[in-house]
Amino acid sequence: MKFTKYHALGNDYLVVDPKEVNRLSQDDIITLCHRHYGIGSDGVLYGPLPGNSCDFALKIFNPDGSEAEKSGNGLRIFSRYLWDRQLVSSKPFFIETPGGVVSASVCPSGKSVTVEMGQVAFSHKVSEAATAAPEDILVLGKTFTGYRANVGNPHFVILVDELTPKLATTYGPLIESAAGFSNRTNVQFVKVLEQGKIQVEIWERGAGYTLASGSSSVAAAAVVHCLGLCREKISVLMPGGVIEITLDVRFNASMTGVVAKIAEGTLSQEALS
């Protein structure tokens, strides 16, 4: 089975073409993503599949084998894969995910990709709640105030004054699976640095601590903009680098950042046995 590996600011994904394999089981995905027993990645992008409403459809899997509705960096990486395979040009094209259809465009060098991620809802259900509402959550004796956002996939955005990776690694796993989140949640700890700049530490649902996340960047930017803390153009600083987000008045989000190809290879049969 052939695979291609890319990263977007250190958020790494394997792209597996359905032509290579009819189906990936949950165990296959867990092994593929495992950094010792497999190739290692923050997820698997299974596509291109035939779309219902556009040329390309994509399935996105987390390293725990669960399926995500959407992934910002996953979509930017998959766009770059389509571009590398000469299946798209530098003109905008559409990709269908369970979390909605997005439009993407790859810059002429292939190194930067923009995805129009769609409208952010301030709830865990798409198209509900037009404004961010605070919600307290008690974890390990500490109360955090966060805001739900849905970018196709669910997020819980917590504003803090002091930001450390430890916040994400200590509280992230407990918040991810807290009782109030019926389908678990991605978690972002966010510090507003200035009007157009925020810093974020991320705990991803089904993946854990990651160096960057596109949908998390969109969720965090939408919440701080909705609260009036930042304007509509926001640079999101993460441990892996920067993603640029632009929001319109209805919280439709455009996301731009770099993508790099790491490797192409063939997985040994033995690895999945």
Where along the sequence are the contacts to ligand LBFN2T5F (CB under 6 A)? 11, 42-43, 62, 68, 71-74, 153, 186, 204-207, 210, 213-216
Residue 153 labeled ligand binder = yes
Query: Closest CB to ligand LBFN2T5F among 182 and 269?
Result: 182
CB 132 within 8 Å of CB 147 = yes
Residue 215 labeled ligand binder = yes
Residue 62 labeled ligand binder = yes
The least distance separating ligand LBFN2T5F from the CB of residue 60, rounded to whole angstroms, comes to 6
Residue 22 labeled ligand binder = no
How many residues belong to the chain? 273
The least distance separating ligand LBFN2T5F from the CB of residue 59, rounded to whole angstroms, comes to 12
The least distance separating ligand LBFN2T5F from the CB of residue 161, rounded to whole angstroms, comes to 25
The least distance separating ligand LBFN2T5F from the CB of residue 117, rounded to whole angstroms, comes to 9
Backbone angles phi, psi at 232, to 5 degrees: -80, -15
The least distance separating ligand LBFN2T5F from the CB of residue 104, rounded to whole angstroms, comes to 13
CB 242 within 8 Å of CB 99 = no
Residue 52 labeled ligand binder = no
Burial class (CB in 10 A: 0-12, 13-18, 19+), 25: exposed
Query: Closest CB to ligand LBFN2T5F among 28 and 194?
Result: 28
Residue 20 labeled ligand binder = no
Helices (H), 63-194: 72-84, 165-176
Q: List CB contacts of 56: < 8 A, sequence separation 6 or more.
A: 47, 48, 49, 78, 82, 87, 93, 94, 95, 96
Query: Closest CB to ligand LBFN2T5F among 123 and 153?
Result: 153
The secondary structure of 177-199 as a DSSP string is T-TT-TT--EEEEEEEEETTEEE
Query: Closest CB to ligand LBFN2T5F among 93 and 156?
Result: 156
Residue 11 labeled ligand binder = yes
CB atoms within 10 A of CB 21: 15
CB 209 within 8 Å of CB 202 = yes
Query: Closest CB to ligand LBFN2T5F among 115 and 224?
Result: 115
Q: Which residues are annotated as a binding site?
A: 11, 62, 72-73, 153, 186, 204-205, 214-215
